Amino acid sequence: MTAGAPSEPAPGLSLSIGPDGWLTGSAGEAMDPPPVDSTGHRTVAPGILRRPSPNHDQRPDGEDPYLLVIHNISLPPGVFTGDAIIDFFQNRLDISSHSWFENIRDMRVSAHFLIRRDGTIVQFVPTVLRAWHAGVSSFEGRERCNDFSVGIELEGTDTLAYTDAQYERLAALAAAIRARHPIRAVRGHEHIAPGRKTDPGPAFDWDRFESTTR
């Protein structure tokens, strides 16, 4: 597999989100083996992983998300190997494994999804629940964007180009989210938390993304 290529099988990948807010693949038919361990880890379909995070809670009553927020993350910054992001969102990160991790020792955050450099999609929180991804934020005059948004993390940095596989999987994932929820806007973290956040940064090609999701 070449660098940045999506996990097999890429052609014809079909994604959908069920009533419970969990992503399924292969035309909506999840292949769910028993959990690997007590954390509920599952391989839903090739290239789609479920890694439940405790960092979530209920949305406000009657709230159906209408905003999609795109972020980036790499742990340590600029490093794209290992499972530090997954461990971080599951509150399992070994702080002693890298000096930079002291900066995030007490943070309890999550996103609904992570798309890795090879296109693998990892889901942490069902879309019907509130993930803790936006922090202090506002959109169209309304604060607390976590209440009404779905958060997608791209493994990357503000300045390094995202991979073809990530754009392909992001388009498919965004379509699945739109089919399940009344999404009417897509913004970067930088747009809902200006001055505090900069992601997904200038490396993210908004024109490319929008051309694949029309």
List Cβ neighbours of 73 (8 Å cut-off, separation of 6 or more). Answer: 85, 111, 114, 153, 154, 155, 156, 199
3-state secondary structure of 70: strand
Query: Tokens 């992983």 identify what position?
Result: 49
Return averaged pLDDT per consecutive 10 residues of the chain, 214 residues in all.
34 83 69 49 88 98 98 98 97 98 98 98 98 99 99 99 98 97 98 98 98 82
Report pLDDT for 39: 58
Is 153 considered catalytic here?
yes
Indicate the pTM of the whole model.
0.90
Q: What is the secondary structure of 114-181 as a DSSP string?
A: EE-TT--EEE-S-TTEEES---S-EETTEE-GGGGEEEEEEES-SSSPPPHHHHHHHHHHHHHHHHHS
Look at residue 43 in the predicted model and tell me its pLDDT. 87
Q: Which of 29, 63, 143, 153 is catalytic?
A: 153
Q: Which domains occur in the chain, in start order?
A: 15-212 (3.40.80.10)
State the pLDDT at residue 25: 80
